Structure 1
């Protein structure tokens, strides 16, 4: 449903046409959007199923954009709440396994921080296709570990291993993690951010995982090393769900400055204004708007106008 607010998609074009002209029939929507009859009819059925429009006697009506936006936010909150529940269930499993680890050979508890770091390095050396990371506190390794980690990651990426990392959003401001993010992304890492990832996780291909948690009732951390099993499949699925919910980011996004003109462009862009409308409103050429919009998309790591507005708001640009 998220693309209903993105005027660059078929769903967004049809929905916007109905916002601007109530109770419109299919031929009128075709005329306003330039889409084919088949695409309009298919899109209307999708929007109807999603609760964004209604139909009466062959005429179509858009539901309130405010209501649609609230529904999008509600669904996103539900997805995140579900992920948190899954995280709590995994933690309960972790606590149980810690007591009963001898009964399940796929799991191994590691409570020595040096061995956790060594295990992470060995997993990267063994990875042949991809290495997936959910990066969030707690951090426990010495600074030299992260220096060595950069060297290893570059070597593994040069060898063809794809790195995908989800960072917690405040990592931008971390004096160690922030610069590391920029360097790794410049080297080819695929990076996304999430406000508060529910777990700290490493995945090497589909062969092994390390789930790290704060130690219960004590300082420090403990990790659960997971070999091929149903639990490993679950953790892989959790990562892919988090990846879909997180926001793409480019190295240039770490630069937090935005001038007043770009702020105006972002505000209009997030409200659904087209490049032509923005150009008229700000007395700019369309070419200038297109160029600055593309640069803003890159800085924000966004792929849609709605997403750009959300990310700009999170960054305090609006």
Structure 2
């Protein structure tokens, strides 16, 4: 109610009370406006400052003034201020557009051949945020390693919520090991309630994020994220990485459903472990790939040796081949 020129509800009601009963004193004005005497005095002072009231000398009465005389100049001043703000915003938009054009030109130079190299963790984080905000259809992610901390998950929440509210589909693949992490399970429930999807697998080849079908971000070194990442924009490569994601996604289990135990044949974890042994990975390397401790790797290996009646890891591999597991 005319707050833009400093006339609040109380002052407005006091002014109207005086228009209805010009001869009213303080107490009567307060009753008519439904205010306390202190609130009424403050309103009268404000109306006087705005030249909407004139006090009668030697009397407790006030004479209302024409609001066009007192308020119109204030409205004109406020209109001029808003016009200046609009002009300033227009100049700011033009400046942002100019900077954005220069930024796009720089990006084109960096990734002119379809691949852009990002150096350092912070550069990767900035570019991922940009690409995610630009996504209009879908964001697909491989998230290897152990479970994220509760603080890290909370930091992801605003951007994820923004994506989902815009109708962007979100599909994320974690390792099976996160099923034992309460914070991740809680976050997955929150994400699912808003339309996001999370599945898990025993192992993932690398960290990867694909935004729509236009860009994919993959690490320079799968074992050392500090070395940075590549932003790939070649359509054929993005399509191939997308097919890799779909292949793994179709074999994965939704996080909100328990993994189905396998009685006779190998489990997905067994097959992942055997594949990594075949590739020559050490226990430490397998630990990183599966997002579990070295102790868990060795326990899983011992269980597998027992099931296959093998005395060594070499025998495990030979028996797995004999049974057609690999």
TM-score class normalised by the smaller sequence: 0.3 to 0.5
- Give me the TM-score of the superposition, normalised by structure 1: 0.42
* Greater Rg over alpha carbons, structure: 2
